[in-house]
Structures are given as structure tokens and as C-alpha cells.
Amino acid sequence: MRNKYLHALFRTPSGAVGSLTLLLIIALAVVGPLLWHDAAQAENVTNLNLGVSRDHLFGTDGLGRDVFARTMVATRLSLLLAVGAAVVGAILGYVVGIVIAVLPAQLRRVCLAAVDVSLSFPVILLAIVFVAMFGGGTTSTIVAIGIAFAPPLARLSSNLALAESRKEYFRIARTLGVPTRTLLPRYLLANIAEPLLLTFFYAIGSALVAVSALSFLGIGVQPPSYDWGVLLVNGFTLLYVQPAAALGPAAMIVVTGIGLALVGEASARAANPRLAGARRRTAGDDAQNAQAAAEPTPDDPTSDDLVLDVRDLRVAFDTPAGEVVPVRGIDLRIRKGEVLGLVGESGSGKSMTALAIAGLAPANARVTTERCRFLGHAGTPAGLRSRRIGQRLAMVFQDPATSLNPAMRLGTQMTEAVRAGGVGRREAVERAVERLTDVRIPAPASRLRDFANQLSGGQRQRVMIAMGLMTEPALIVADEPTTALDVTVQAQVLSVLRDVNVRSGASVLLISHDMSVIAQMCSKVAVMYAGAIVEYGDTADVVHRPQHPYTRALLASVITLDHSAESEAPAEPGGVAPSADGRNRPGGCSYLARCPIASERCADEIPPLMQGAAGEVACWNMADKEQLV
Amino acid sequence: MAEEAAVVSRPTQQLSSRAGWSDIKARHPWLVFLLSRVARLVVVCALLLVGTFLMVRLMPGDPARRILGLQATPEAVELTRHRLGLDRPQFEQLWSYCWNALHLDFGESFSQGVPVRELIAERFPKTVELAAAATMVLLIVGFGVGTLMAVLTRDGRRPRLDATYGTSMGALSAVPDFVLAALFAVVFGLYLKWFPVAGDNGLSSLTLPTLAVAIPGIGFLSRVVRAEALDVLSQNYVRTARAKRLTGRRIYIRHVMPNAAYGGVTLAGVSFASLVGGTVVVEQVFNWPGMGSALTSAVVNRDYPVVQAGVLLLGATVVIVNTLVDVLLAIVDPGALREN
């Protein structure tokens, strides 16, 4: 733990600068009063309010004392006050917070409400109140600021403690009868100590500011004692005569504050790597444009009824550990009105395929195709110049709860795409009502004014489908549309999807890990494994006469009522699925490690998709013998 | 998911009145919401009243003695006690304190001998002016810079700008408002002579105090807005919006901004409290004739009626603004209201 922090502190330049600054300030606090005490006290009537000079770096004050020496001496008191106030605040706040966390629920709610109320007051105002009550001076400043700091620290510690006490291990320990005197320190405090310490560290910085502010207002440290705040306000009265007397102490406050902030940030980063900088992956436009440009295909007369024709689609990512290739060259051809299923286990690259086709792959993805045509136009749907043709591909995502904008009315969300295309408001609304009726949403007109959270999960997914239908899509890509829903709702959504396919003639690319969903819905199936298609054919063939050993394993894992007695099917795929990166991939078939029928050739050569008994299969042992060379 | 499933649902006794209440809640979410916020506001203000009353009573020593000084005769002290009503029972005192406070009557200032009400009438609008100006600058610059940085540095773009921004904003929020105020006074007031250093002469003298109050908050708010906007950019519904082939502008304005604003406004509400705290300090630096500088000099002079009035008014302002922010949030996201 200690090493982790030290490492983090000095790894980044800002962390290193911050730590060095702090060390310097602490050293100054130790030696400052020893070195400069005499110079700080020496009054000299001939040297009143002098400006900056060699002898007086920050000039002199109204009594002829050297401001630089006084600033150095004040380091100790300023730091002590800040640490003292932070300690008082932390003890009060953490104790109150943790006590609140272990109170019975009713009482806890009342206490938390009280803490929230005190939280809403400005800290400095609270501190002023307490200073007014205790009178000024060093001790009362510490106590006043400590008390004023307690509410936020109490809130934080009670939040942390509550979150911790709701975790599994804690509940189990409590159920097992671990006594409270062990439970509290060993289970609770030990696990929230890190954020609490970090916060304490931040609190020192804020306390320094608050203490200086009180002194600056003349109600904190009282003469003859002095901290930076006192020096600052003294200097401030001389602002016109010699500003350095104010700027010197001000600089010390700022430098110390920045040092504390930098160190705090660096250690927070060490404690929580997610803070290290948001490197989020979202859909980007660059990749899409790039791939659209690289598309010089001539027209192909045989592709008339092909809605989508993709050849050799690859998706690759560059990572520090090397190239990762989740999709390694697959072909997809979807005909008008066809429902194609893309099935495979999670991590097989099927969702990435869908995102790449829709042009929604992460910004750092490299998407390449040998050929890509959508509705006879060259380019991916996303890369197409014409927005309207691009809109003829609709997406339905896995999680309807997060895929709808929570802050926008459903009507606006449904109509915005066609409205942007020039359709009038009334017409767009009428169309939205129609589409909602198509997906069997009751009272569609009034639903348009609702927000997503007012719908059930199944309704949300049907709204997503209806929203996709607004632009009269030629292809609906449904990426695990029913995975987040329970079984009865699944059936509803699937039947809506089939309805839509029959009525509007839109093709559907249905992606699922669930063979039974695919079997219900699709005319053709492509089975995907480790970024490649291993079997392709008519659904009936693939389901009843699976060729590839992986397909067989996948089917065997589906328990259906009429097939439950069949026990001769191979067991679930054993072993570990290969990772998508190419580093430790052997030269041969990617299914090799889990395959029950592997032969020698499988270890040496990657099997391409070949003609099988029915449909196509990428397996040396199952392909038509005549095809093999 | 697994955790949720593992949570054993406790059998709760459903009271009939509860069911009725949830029924009302479902039918009139706005009414229930507004009532609860107003109720909270009233409770907090009541607590503030009691708190400021107790503040003076809990202090060691006798207020009358404090006014008159140590040399005063016992008779004079007794007379003053009577005049201040300190010889009456505590509850009666509390009642009349509250009653008077509700009429903005806080008695006479010990040090200036004028009614506190007059002082407030003169000072409070000045603080409101400063706080309002600073809030506006804070929100406009904070949201603007935060959103801009999110757009510029999304998906790990411009890593150097990202690092510079993070460090400089961190440093900016580490500079205390009163130090900033002093620096501004020296640089822009004294050397460059762009703005007056002290007093109240219209807009030009409002500029420096406003910036001094707003800037530390900007460092904080813009970082939060940026993080919030980045978070929204990675949400599934933004992916949905992209799947609909909307223009980038529409995606930002209609899908990203409103959702990022929610978190931003929540924090703007929180930072308003520290902003009011900032005015207290900054007013002192620029000699701004507001409530804050009146409050600090009252603390120094032990002028308790003014301290009470100042704490009460500033505290109530913060609480009222926070309530308004809550209502605003409910307007921005009515969905949350229903779940509330």
C-alpha cells in the first residue's frame, strides 16, 4: 500500500512537484522559527514599510519588521492550525458518521437529514458562528473550523460505512456472529480507511484556507501570534505602499495549497486507477469516415436483392499489450426480408460485428472490409454520404433501460430522426403513433409524452423497435434484444420483431447467444466463434444437423422440453475460450483446445468456411471430403 | 445484479395509510414533491432561528455586561438586561426573538446604535448583487469550459491538453478566494488600474469581487461538468442517437447537454453555499458594503444582533436557493420526480 502511494506520487510530474513542495514546506515549518525568529521580532523604526530589497525580500511592515522572516516563521503556526483543525474535524466527523451508519434505520435517517441540513451551510459561515461563540484566538480557531468541517466528513464516512456494511462479506460476518468489537475495526474501518485518510488529507488543505481566511478577517489568530492570514491582512493594509508584504504570505498559502492538492490528486489516483484520466471508448466518426473512403468497389448486378453484403470484415484494436482482433475477417450477406441469426458465446465478436456494420464501433477500433455494400450503395451504412440511406439501418440494443434517453420524451426521441430528414411535426407524430401501434403499445398517443422510466422493460424494447421503424429501415440489427428481459416478455418482443419483418419486409440481423431464440426467429444462421464464422446455413439444417463441433456443443447446452432425453449430444464446450488477441493463438483452428474430434491438420492450418453436408462449415473434419485439398 | 438477487427482501408490514400515501404520490407527484421541499425549508429555517438564538445564549458571559463593559455598575447592567428582555423566561425570549426575526426586527446594533433592520436593508441587497453576478459567471464559464473540454478530450483525444487542463484547474481551485481577491486588487486595481480596488461604484467595482468569488468555483465546476459530459457521451442512449444518424450538433445539444446539466446543476447548488461563504471574505477585501463585511466586523466588535441577523439571512438565502435548485432539477428531469 505504502509503495503504491510512493510510486504514484513520483510517477507523474505533478505528483512529484507536489510532494517536493510539501516536503519543503514541512521542513520550513520545523526550522523556520529557529532560523528566523530573531529577525522576525526585530523592530526597527528607521525601516518602516520598506519595499522589496536585498535585505528584505518581502519588504518590512509598519513596525519595521522583516516580512520575509515573519512569513517563514508563520509557516509552523499555519500548518499546525491547519492540521489541528483537520484532526478535530476528522475525529468529530468520522466518529459521528460511523455511529450514524450503525444506528437503526429510522434513527439513522433522522441523523442523516440533520447532517444534510448542516452541510448546506457555507463552512466559513459556520466557522464564523463558532468563533463568535468561543471568541477569537488560536485554540478557538482550531475548534471552530474543526466543528465546521465535521458535517461533510460525517456524511462521507457514514456513506462509506453504509456501503461497506451492505456488502456480502459484511453481512455474512454479521450472520456468523462476529462480535461488534471485531466487526467494526476489522471489517468496517479496515476497508474504508483508505478513502477516509485521503479525505483527511484534502481536509488539511481546506483547513489551511479556512484558518487563513478567519485570520484574514481578523477573527482568527490574534496578535501577537501570527499566521499567514494575519500577515496577509497586515500586508493588505499597506497594499498601496508596498504590495510585497501581502503577496509574500499569499504566495505561501497558494503554494502550500497547490502542493496539497497535487499530492492529494496523485494519491487518489493511486487509490482509484479509474481517476487516472477518463479514457472512455465511444463511437467515433473518424473510423467511420476512413472506412467509407476506402471503398472502390464496382457495381455487382447479382447483388440486387442483397440488403447488406459485407466481405472480410475485420475489427482490430491496438492496445499496449499488442493488437487485439475481436472480428477476424467475416462475410455476411443478408437478403431482402431475410432474418439472419448470428449466434455465439459472449466474447465471440458478434456484438462488435453489429457495431462495426452500423458504424458504431469504438473510436479506437480499426474497421476494414474488402467490400461493403448497403442497399446497392458502396460503403457501410454509417459511411454513406446520404444520411437518409444510412438511416435505413436501424439498431435495437441489448439494454432498453439505458438505450433510451432518460431526459427526453419518447415522442421527441422517436420523431427526431425523421424530423431532421424534413418530415413535418404532425406527420412525424402520426407515424410514431402508427409504429407504436405496430409494436402493440397500448394508448400510443399518450405514451409519446412519457419518459422511458415510465415504461416496463418489455415496453421499452418495443419502443426501441418502433423507433427504429420510424425511418422505414431496410435492415434492423438487433443485438441481443431480449437478453435483458424475462422469458414471457422475451416472447412478446420476438413476436413483435417477426411481425415487423413480415409486414414491412425489413431484413433482420438477430444477434444472440441463445440458440433457442435464433431457432424460433431465423431463416439462416451464422455461428460465430472467436471472431470468425464457423458454420453457416439454413436454420433447420444447423439446428437439426449441426456440423461444427462448436455448434453441437452450443445446441447441447440448450435444454428444450422435446429434446431433454437426448443425452448422446456432446457436452458443453470444455476448456477456456481463447482470448480475442492474437498473441497466444496457435496457427491452427481456434476451437482446437476444446474440440473433441480434432485431428493433426487442425493444429497446423486454420480451416476456412467450406461446403459441408448442408450449408458451410469451417472444420477440416466435417467439410465435404471432395472439397478438401 | 447478483448482489441484488442475493439481498433477502425483508417482510414489511404494509400499513393502509402508507398505501394511501403512495397512491397520492403517484397521482400528484408535483404536489407531494413541492410540499416536501417547502416543509424541509420551513424546518431548516426554524432550526436556523433556534440556532442563532442559542448562539448568543450559550456564549459565556452576560450580553449586557459585554455591551456596557467591565466598569458598568450592577444597576446599569440590570437596566440593560431589562431593556434587552434578558430577565424574561427563556421560552418567552425565544418566542419574541422568532416573532421579531420573522418581521426582520433584530433590535439595535450594539456598536452602531441603529436598528439592525436598517443595516440589513442597506447591506443585504449588495451581497445579493455580488452573489448573483458571481453565480452567473460561475455557471456560464463553468459549463462552457467543462463541456468544451469534454468534447475536445473525449475518447482520449488531445492527451496533453487534458493533462494541462486537469492540473491548471486543480491549481485554480487550490487558490483561496481571499488570496485571489488580494492578487486581483494588486494586479488589476493597483498596477493596471483597470478597476477600482475598493468601494461600490457600479459595474466596474463589481468586476473584481465577482471574479474573485467565482473563479475558485469555476475550477471545481468545470471539472465536474467535463466528467459528467464524458460520462454521458459513453451512455447507451448516445449510441442510440448515433445509430439514428443524427447530426453531431443535435446529439450534443439535445442528448448530451440536458443529461450532463443534471449533474452540473446539482453541483452548482452545492457550490452556491461556498460561493456565499466566498462573498463574506471577498467583501472584506474590496470593502464591498454587503452583509458579509458587516458580519465580520460585527464578530470583531461582538455586535450580536448583527451577527444573528447576518447568519440567519445568509443561511436562509443558501437554503432557499438550494430548494429552488431542487425544483429546477425536477423540471429538468421529471422522471426522477416520479421515483423520488
Confidence class of residue B15 from pLDDT cuts 50, 70 and 90?
very low
Q: CATH number, domain at A267?
A: 1.10.3720.10
Interface of A with B in 176-205 (CB under 8 A): 205
Cell of A132: 463568535
What 3-state DSSP class applies to A33?
Answer: helix
Rounded average pLDDT over B136-150:
86
Based on the fold, state whether residues A221 and A326 are members of the same structural domain: no
A14 vs B51: which has the higher pLDDT: B51
Which of B1, B179, B287, B331 is the mutation pick for testing A, counting most A CBs within 10 A?
B179
Per residue in A425-466, pLDDT (tens digit) is 899 999 999 889 888 888 888 888 888 888 888 888 889 888
A560 pLDDT more than 60: no
Check residue A555 and give its pLDDT. 82
What 3-state DSSP class applies to A505?
Answer: coil
Neighbour tally for A111: CB within 10 Å: 18
Does residue A281 form part of some domain? no
Rounded average pLDDT over B298-305:
80
Check residue B310 and give its pLDDT. 86
Based on the fold, state whether residues A472 and A367 are members of the same structural domain: yes
Residue B335 touches chain A, beta carbons under 8 Å: yes
A393 pLDDT more than 70: yes
Per residue in A314-349, pLDDT (tens digit) is 888 887 777 888 888 888 889 988 999 999 888 788
Closest Cα in chain A, distance from residue B188 (Å): 13
Residue A358 touches chain B, beta carbons under 8 Å: yes
Q: Which residue has the cell 479514457?
A: A279
Check residue A88 and give its pLDDT. 94
In whole angstroms, give the CA distance from residue A555 to residue A519: 10
Based on the fold, state whether residues A311 and A446 are members of the same structural domain: yes
Check residue B37 and give its pLDDT. 83
Q: Which of A242, A259, A276 is the last residue of a domain?
A: A276
A285 pLDDT more than 80: no
Per residue in B279-289, pLDDT (tens digit) is 888 888 888 88
B7 pLDDT more than 90: no
DSSP A342-375: EE--TTSSHHHHHHHHTT-SBTTEEEE-SEEEET
| Strand duo A616-617 + A377-378: pairing | unpaired
Query: Number of folded domains in chain A?
Result: 3
Interface of B with A in 68-107 (CB under 8 A): none
R_g over Cα of chain B: 26
Based on the fold, state whether residues A15 and A150 are members of the same structural domain: yes
Residue A124 touches chain B, beta carbons under 8 Å: yes
Check residue A626 and give its pLDDT. 56
A256 pLDDT more than 80: yes
Nearest CA in chain A to B300: A219
Query: Which residue type is seen at A284?
Result: G
Check residue A624 and give its pLDDT. 65
Q: Measuring CA to CA, which residue among A328, A325, A327, A357 is closest to residue A340?
A: A357
A147 vs B225: which has the higher pLDDT: A147
Q: Do B307 and A382 touch (CB under 8 A)?
A: no
Does residue A393 form part of some domain? yes
Interface of A with B in 220-249 (CB under 8 A): 232, 236, 239-240, 243, 246-247
Interface of A with B in 492-551 (CB under 8 A): none
Closest Cα in chain B, distance from residue A405 (Å): 5
Domain range enclosing A447: 301-522
Interface of A with B in 138-167 (CB under 8 A): 167
Confidence class of residue A561 from pLDDT cuts 50, 70 and 90?
very low
Cell of A190: 479496515
Q: Measuring CA to CA, which residue among A432, A515, A498, A497 is closest to residue A458?
A: A497
A82 pLDDT more than 60: yes
Q: CATH number, domain at A365?
A: 3.40.50.300
Q: What is the separation, in whole angstroms, between the first and last Cα of chain B?
A: 22
Confidence class of residue B334 from pLDDT cuts 50, 70 and 90?
low
Cell of A450: 412519457
Mean per-residue pLDDT of chain B? 78
R_g over Cα of chain A: 35
Based on the fold, state whether residues A495 and A608 are members of the same structural domain: no
Say how many residues make up chain B.
340
Confidence class of residue B1 from pLDDT cuts 50, 70 and 90?
very low
Check residue A87 and give its pLDDT. 94
Based on the fold, state whether residues A145 and A175 are members of the same structural domain: yes
Check residue A91 and give its pLDDT. 92
Does residue A289 form part of some domain? no
Cell of A338: 431475410
Check residue A575 and give its pLDDT. 44
Interface of B with A in 313-332 (CB under 8 A): 314-315, 318-319, 322, 332
Percentage of residues in chain A with pLDDT exceeding 90? 7
Judge contact between A215 and A252, C-beta under 8 A: no
Per residue in A104-127, pLDDT (tens digit) is 888 888 888 888 777 777 888 888
Judge if pTM exceeds 0.80.
no
Confidence class of residue A570 from pLDDT cuts 50, 70 and 90?
very low
Based on the fold, state whether residues A272 and A378 are members of the same structural domain: no
Per residue in A497-546, pLDDT (tens digit) is 888 888 888 899 999 888 888 888 898 999 998 888 888 989 888 888 88
Residue B167 touches chain A, beta carbons under 8 Å: yes
Q: Which of A475, A490, A522 is the last residue of a domain?
A: A522
Check residue A581 and give its pLDDT. 46
In whole angstroms, give the CA distance from residue A595 to residue A602: 10
What 3-state DSSP class applies to A312?
Answer: strand
In whole angstroms, give the CA distance from residue A283 to residue A436: 28
Check residue A339 and give its pLDDT. 92
Residues 6+ apart with CB under 8 A from A190: none
Interface of B with A in 240-299 (CB under 8 A): 240-248, 250, 254-255, 258-259, 262, 273-274, 276-278, 280-281, 284-285, 295-296, 299
B240 pLDDT more than 80: yes
Check residue B114 and give its pLDDT. 83
Confidence class of residue B335 from pLDDT cuts 50, 70 and 90?
low
Does residue A396 form part of some domain? yes
Mean per-residue pLDDT of chain A? 79
Q: A274 contacts in B (CB within 8 Å)? A: none
Residues 6+ apart with CB under 8 A from A433: A444, A445, A448
Cell of A158: 457514514
Per residue in A192-223, pLDDT (tens digit) is 887 788 788 888 888 888 888 888 888 888 87
Based on the fold, state whether residues A271 and A408 are members of the same structural domain: no
Check residue A272 and give its pLDDT. 54
Percentage of residues in chain B with pLDDT exceeding 70? 85
Q: Measuring CA to CA, which residue among B260, B258, B339 is closest to residue A409?
A: B258
Does residue A531 form part of some domain? no
Based on the fold, state whether residues A207 and A164 are members of the same structural domain: yes
Per residue in B94-139, pLDDT (tens digit) is 888 888 888 878 887 777 778 888 888 888 888 888 888 898 898 8
Residue B58 touches chain A, beta carbons under 8 Å: yes
In whole angstroms, give the CA distance from residue A128 to residue B297: 11
Closest Cα in chain A, distance from residue B250 (Å): 9
Does residue A615 form part of some domain? yes
Give me the sheet containing A524-529, strands edge to edge. Answer: A393-396, A475-479, A507-512, A339-343, A524-529, A532-538, A616-617, A610-611
Closest Cα in chain B, distance from residue A304 (Å): 25
A563 pLDDT more than 60: no
In whole angstroms, give the CA distance from residue A291 to residue A358: 12
Does residue A532 form part of some domain? no
Based on the fold, state whether residues A307 and A238 are members of the same structural domain: no
A386 vs A84: which has the higher pLDDT: A84
Phi and psi for B111 in degrees, rounded to 5? -90, -30
Judge contact between A407 and B259, C-beta under 8 A: yes
Judge contact between A49 and A59, C-beta under 8 A: yes
Interface of A with B in 307-326 (CB under 8 A): none
Based on the fold, state whether residues A20 and A144 are members of the same structural domain: yes
Q: A360 contacts in B (CB within 8 Å)? A: 239, 242-243
Helices (H), A45-122: 67-102, 105-119
Rounded average pLDDT over A27-39:
82
Say how many residues make up chain A.
629
Nearest CA in chain B to A405: B237
Closest Cα in chain A, distance from residue B336 (Å): 9
Judge contact between B297 and B288, C-beta under 8 A: no
Q: Do B281 and A277 touch (CB under 8 A)?
A: no
- The angle formed by the CA atoms of residues A190, A166 and A89, to the nearest 5 degrees, is 50
Q: Do A282 and B238 touch (CB under 8 A)?
A: yes
Does residue A293 form part of some domain? no
Based on the fold, state whether residues A489 and A623 are members of the same structural domain: no
Query: How many residue contacts between A and B have a Cβ separation below 8 Å?
Result: 222
Residues 6+ apart with CB under 8 A from A502: none
Maximum pairwise Cα distance, chain A: 111
Neighbour tally for A627: CB within 10 Å: 10
Residue A262 touches chain B, beta carbons under 8 Å: yes
Check residue A39 and give its pLDDT. 73
